[in-house]
Amino acid sequence: MLEVKNIKQHLAAYQEAFQKRNFDASKVLPEVLQLDEQRRNMQTELDQILAESNQLSKEIGMLFKNGEQQKANILKEKTAGIKLKTKQISTEMDAVNKTLVELLFSIPNVPHSSVPAGNSEDDNETIFGEGEIPKLDKKALPHWELAQKYDLIDFELGNKITGAGFPVYKGKGARLQRALITYFLDKNTQAGYTEYQVPHLVNAASGFGTGQLPDKEGQMYHVTEDDLYLIPTAEVPVTNIFRDDLLTEDQLPIKCTGYTPCFRREAGSYGAHVRGLNRLHQFDKVEIVSLVKPEDSYQVLDDMVAHVKEILRELKLPYRILRLCGGDLGFTSALTYDFEIFSTAQERWLEISSVSNFETFQANRLKIRYKTKDKKKHLVHTLNGSALALPRVLAGILENYQTPEGIKIPEVLVPYTGFDIIN
RNA sequence: GGAGAAAUGGCAGAGUGGUCGAAUGCGGCAGUCUUGAAAACUGUUGAGGGUCACACCUCCGGGGGUUCGAAUCCCUCUUUCUCCGCCA
């Protein structure tokens, strides 16, 4: 949710920036300002009436104390009209407020100045790449065939137990996944992120806080009986740890990491490009979340990108980094870098991390603020990223590390897996 | 799941219809004293809105109600604690 005072201050600049994400803000922003003005005026009017009412009540109290019942009763009659009026104004104000908030909820974040304009993923900007793409044998297999060949993942079994998109990991496949999770968490904690284990179901308030609700309701599994949602990412419970918090300046930056399964309905879209581990309803992910002072957030974004880079370097996976264009940018994000690894057997890039700066967009909804030494209060900037998403990393390792003898295990993982080849 | 009790400022804890946004203690901050520290003493110390600044408004778990007036009374929801039942 954007801050009204910022809209007021940067109206023209915002209008222009929104064009990059093809969002027509020409009507909605002035409307927000107009509603805010209206709400403000009503608030002032209401306050004045309440002040009058409070004053009268006090006088009545004094009169009763002094035994001047008659005078008190005269004043009482005066209050009747005031009561009516307060009710009237406050219902009107609630209505205006509701419209205002709904409108604000419908406005996406303002793209950062470095965000390229564009409509789709084709317009994303590749800003970095490294790692050697291995030259594989002609007989190289995609990961779903490797998974079957070495009995690592059973997709059919998942179908039986639950349905499509819920694979069962098995033997060395399960072990490799667990090794990756532990390795990621170790890397993250070494980099100063505090590890959390959080609930996998969240309430609606948490969903609103991080922006999954109300617009992306259909993407989450909803447990209607208890009105809870299965988390689509650890970002939701982890960021909500700090909802409504007033932090002190010296508590920042706050860096958290957490491993959770993630649940996504992702209705539609079946076919070859979502085969195997490419797209699932349940998958594992290790997430990193940062809460920082506004002036630090872009440096921290770079730090988080560097951190993910280091992990991919250690795993020796060929990857590239994209700066998302306006059209591909998430609703809540101001700037997002996507990491993709090259799936050699599928000959395509797979997204395995997305690192974003939300600036105050989430913090404004979540009311996460901090107090400076001179007691000024500001919203924090929130950032998060995957470090990393498991299934596609697993897929990338299986495919890129395959040899005629079997699948080799990246060196850094061997201490975690306890074996160095799958054959 | 059943029975009972409770929810107040950073914490502890009073207040049970009328200057209560809230006593008191601890903690925090500032000062006095001290070479420095501790102790002692003095002052100060919740949040949001609003204003150039005041004024003023709102907030005593959430929501609703009674009343001229609610932290205080009523309804409801949530959470916590104790006891019982069940249980990884």
Report ipTM for this prediction.
0.80
What pLDDT, on the 0 to 100 scale, is given for residue A309? 95
- The response to whether A287 counts as a known ligand-binding position is yes
- The response to whether A266 counts as a known ligand-binding position is yes
pLDDT band at A269 (very low <50, low <70, confident <90, very high): low
Whether nucleic acid strand B comes within 7 Å of the CB of A79, the answer is yes
CATH topology of domain A4-105: Helix Hairpins (1.10.287)
In this predicted structure, the answer to whether residue A56 has a pLDDT above a threshold of 90 is no
A105-144 burial: b if 16+ Cβ within 10 Å, else e:
bebbbbbbeebbebeeeeebeeeeeebeebeeeeebbbbb
CATH topology of domain A121-422: BirA Bifunctional Protein; domain 2 (3.30.930)
Which strand B bases fall within 7 angstroms of a protein CB?
Answer: 18-19, 47-51, 55-58, 68-69
- C-alpha distance from residue A39 to each of A46, A260, A302, A341, A361 (Å): 10, 42, 40, 50, 21
Residue A220, Cβ neighbours under 10 Å: how many? 20
What pLDDT, on the 0 to 100 scale, is given for residue A270? 59
Rounded CA–C1' distance between A373 and B36, in angstroms: 26
Q: Which residue's CA is nearest to the C1' of nucleotide B69?
A: A57
Q: Comparing A51-55, A156-160, A363-367, A372-376, which segment has the lowest mean pLDDT?
A: A372-376
In this predicted structure, the answer to whether residue A14 has a pLDDT above a threshold of 70 is yes
Could you report the per-residue pLDDT of A23-51, keeping only the tens digit for each?
998 889 999 998 998 888 888 888 888 88
Give the H/E segment covering residue A222.
strand A222-223
Domain coordinates in residue numbering, chain A: 4-105, 121-422
Rounded CA–C1' distance between A374 and B33, in angstroms: 28
What pLDDT, on the 0 to 100 scale, is given for residue A308? 96
The yes-or-no answer to whether A4-105 and A121-422 have a common fold is: no
The residue among A77 and A291 whose pLDDT is bigger is A291
CA of A47: nucleotide with nearest C1': B57
- The response to whether A384 counts as a known ligand-binding position is yes
Give the H/E segment covering residue A229.
strand A228-230
Rounded CA–C1' distance between A92 and B69, in angstroms: 24
Positions 195-254 of A with beta carbon below 7 A from strand B are 246
- The response to whether A314 counts as a known ligand-binding position is no
CA of A82: nucleotide with nearest C1': B68
Nearest CA-CA partner of A135 in A421, A330, A406, A402: A402
Rounded CA–C1' distance between A257 and B25, in angstroms: 40
Residue A289, Cβ neighbours under 10 Å: how many? 25
| Alpha-carbon dihedral sign for residues A239, A240, A243, A246 | negative
Whether nucleic acid strand B comes within 7 Å of the CB of A61, the answer is yes
Which range, A47-51, A109-113, A117-121, A361-365, has the best average confidence (pLDDT)? A109-113
- The response to whether A290 counts as a known ligand-binding position is no
- The response to whether A295 counts as a known ligand-binding position is no
Could you report the per-residue pLDDT of A316-352, keeping only the tens digit for each?
999 999 999 999 998 999 999 999 999 888 888 999 9
